[in-house]
Amino acid sequence: MTSAIHIRPLTASDSLEALTALLHQAYASLAAQGWNFTAVDQPVSLTAKRVASGQCFLAEEMDSQGQRRLVGTVMVRGPYRPGVDAWSLDTPCFTDPANAILSQLAVHPDCRGQGLGERLMDIAEAWARERGYQAVALDTAMPALALRQRYERRGYVTVGEVQWEGKTYRSVLMRKPLSSAPSPSPSPLETDAA
């Protein structure tokens, strides 16, 4: 039996502690491979700073007792501002005003393989398209081949590399052009399928 998963925007009443815990759980398998992604161990204060800079979406699963459980998330925002956003160095695709930036994509380990990551990316891309962005940019660890291939299947292409300060890996910068036409699938915010 599969439960319904609903995706919605983050609200002020949502627990940033629960969101941070989800990020830690989702990124633990990457940490085990030696890749110290920010979401592996970021404090709640950094989660708060990151979600304040754009739009965060949450995926919730309803259990048989009617209790909600946070099972996924994604962040999307406008371009980084040099001199204001620490992560903007050496990343022209992240400072280009035509590009939105996708980050903090996370799916709870119990919910992997059900298409939830794709649904979260659909929502992030739709958010960017609705606001007139021409493309979405992201970065991931260069040695994380499965992640890179996942993004490539969605139309992201490598546009550069960067070595973020303190990271144990180099990152690839990827970008996907957005069409001006709406997505052919139903709005991800109104779907509840598992």
User: Residue 129 — left, alpha, or beta (φ > 0 → left; ψ -120 to 50 → alpha)?
Assistant: alpha
Judged by DSSP in three states, 163 sits in coil
What's the pLDDT score for residue 1? 35
Of 159, 87, 89, 96, nearest to 128 by C-alpha is 96
Mean pLDDT, each 10-residue run in order, the chain (194 residues): 80 96 93 86 93 95 85 95 69 90 94 93 96 95 89 94 83 89 45 39
pLDDT, residue 17, reads: 97
Contact by Cβ (8 Å): 56, 10? yes
The predicted structure's pLDDT at residue 184: 42
The domains found in the chain, sorted by start residue, are 5-133 (3.40.630.30)
Could you identify the residue written with the tokens 């992640």? 147
CB 69 within 8 A of CB 15: no
Query: Distance (Å, rounded) from C-alpha 171 to C-alpha 160?
Result: 9
The stretches of 59-115 forming alpha helices (DSSP H) are 92-95
What pLDDT does residue 163 have? 78
